[in-house]
């Protein structure tokens, strides 16, 4: 059921069948990797890398109320280009009328609020119920920068496909030789394009722990095929020490790179693989890459999610939904403000799935997934044989 791909080093052409799919309209293929930059929300001093909403302009001190008013005005102006999908749900439904949706979701900041302690980013039962319903209506995957096992433990749903480490660790429910999922809780590891980097990543994790143990408020997280150095809780300018330590360590390894997210810097293998290529891989593995009536949506809040937004925009086979309370550059078509709005949107597409406008009602299955399956207790949705 799952195809085996190999990821090429960054800067070279991927030696995979993904590259043969191509970036043309109506065909799935890999998008370009990006280097995430700091935004206003990513700096501990409120100014971002180059100033911004938190900075005082020369000679002009603004009150918090005036600054908030300015931010609100900028946000409303920004939404003219990137409208709220809840407010414009009718246009969303028109875009997917008669189509088969495939749903891809980030985790932190999307299905759960950003929290000070990454280990406490627990999904609410209300969100879990909604995501479960989405997975029974549409093929659904979570693509996260976290380690895959950690995301699975947070989400606690066996109906989903999971891609951890920014898509470098992909797994789905176990399927037997007859094409049906078993009744256990096991997952099959489907693809790990950076598996040979694991010993190096283990070593980087140990080194970063040593380098940052004296930096107050910092923490280091092992995500299997990448390492995250968090500085959300660093006081004053201590966050700069975190970035300097990571930059110095990465400079010693030609096959590693540093990327930046929301108050976090990460060490990743230098391979041409990210959330966008992971999305393409999953669409292909589900047998949907060449299906003209399939529309994929990706919901995420971070710089790293822009790779998935870009993939959808360039292939013209879907669109992104950015979760943000601030106006910022994005390749997403729609926006929502926060995880509560994400829950409302997901509830909306579950209701829409019950209508005749949902293309899955006419073709209710694909590789490894069937709409509204009724498995035995403890199992995920029933997986049929290939179409």
Q: What secondary structure does DSSP assign to 103-143, as a single string?
A: EEE--BTTTB---SSGGG-PPPHHHHHHHHHHHHHS-EEEE
Separation of alpha carbons 173 and 383, rounded Å? 9
> Which two structure tokens, joined as six digits, stand for 97?
């009328």
Tally of CB atoms within 10 A around 323: 22
Question: Is 356 one of the catalytic residues?
Answer: no
Mode of pairing for the β-strands spanning 369-370 and 365-366: antiparallel
d(CA 256, CA 270): 5
Q: How far apart are CA 38 and CA 192, in angstroms?
A: 28
Q: Are 44 and 37 in contact (CB under 8 A)?
A: no
363 C-beta neighbours (distance < 10 Å), count:
13
Helix axes 275-285, 306-315, angle to 10 degrees: 50
The helix or strand, by DSSP H or E, that contains position 332, with its residue range, turns out to be none
Out of 106, 272, 284, 307, which one is annotated catalytic? 106
Question: Tokens standing for 228?
Answer: 């995250």
Residue 68, number of CB atoms within 10 A of its CB:
12
User: Which positions are annotated as active-site residues?
Assistant: 106
């Amino acid at each position: 059921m799952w195809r085996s791909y190999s990821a090429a080093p960054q800067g070279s052409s991927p030696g995979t069948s993904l590259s043969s799919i191509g970036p043309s309209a109506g065909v799935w293929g890999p998008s370009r990797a990006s280097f995430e930059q700091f935004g206003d929300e990513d700096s501990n001093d409120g100014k971002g890398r180059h100033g911004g909403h938190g900075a005082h302009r020369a000679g002009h001190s603004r009150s918090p109320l005036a600054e908030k008013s300015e931010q609100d005005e900028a946000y409303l102006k920004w939404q003219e280009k990137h409208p709220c999908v809840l407010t414009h749900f009718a246009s969303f439904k028109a875009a997917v009328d008669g189509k088969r949706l495939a749903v891809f979701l980030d985790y932190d900041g999307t299905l759960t609020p950003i929290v000070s302690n990454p280990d406490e980013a627990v999904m609410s039962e209300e969100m879990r119920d909604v995501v479960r319903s989405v997975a029974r209506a549409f093929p659904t995957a979570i693509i996260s920068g976290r380690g895959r096992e950690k995301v699975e433990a947070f989400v606690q749903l066996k109906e989903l496909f999971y891609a951890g480490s920014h898509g470098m660790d992909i797994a789905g429910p176990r399927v037997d030789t007859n094409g049906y999922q078993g009744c256990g809780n096991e997952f099959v590891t489907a693809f790990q394009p950076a598996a040979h980097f694991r010993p190096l990543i283990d070593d980087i994790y140990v080194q970063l722990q040593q380098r940052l143990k004296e930096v107050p408020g910092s923490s280091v997280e092992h995500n299997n095929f990448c390492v995250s150095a968090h500085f959300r809780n660093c006081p004053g300018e201590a966050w700069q020490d975190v970035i300097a330590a990571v930059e110095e360590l990465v400079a010693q390894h030609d096959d590693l790179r540093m990327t930046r997210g929301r108050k976090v810097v990460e060490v990743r293998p230098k391979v041409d693989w990210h959330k966008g290529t992971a999305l393409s891989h999953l669409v292909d593995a589900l047998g949907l890459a060449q299906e003209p009536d399939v529309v994929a949506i990706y919901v995420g809040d971070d710089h790293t999610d822009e790779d998935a937004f870009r993939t959808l925009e360039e292939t013209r086979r879907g669109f992104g939904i950015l979760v943000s309370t601030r106006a910022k550059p994005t390749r997403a078509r729609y926006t929502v403000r926060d995880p509560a709005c994400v829950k409302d949107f997901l509830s909306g597409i579950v209701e829409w799935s019950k209508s005749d406008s949902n293309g899955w009602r006419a073709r209710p299955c694909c590789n490894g997934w069937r709409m509204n399956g009724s498995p035995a207790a403890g199992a995920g949705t029933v997986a049929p044989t290939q179409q």
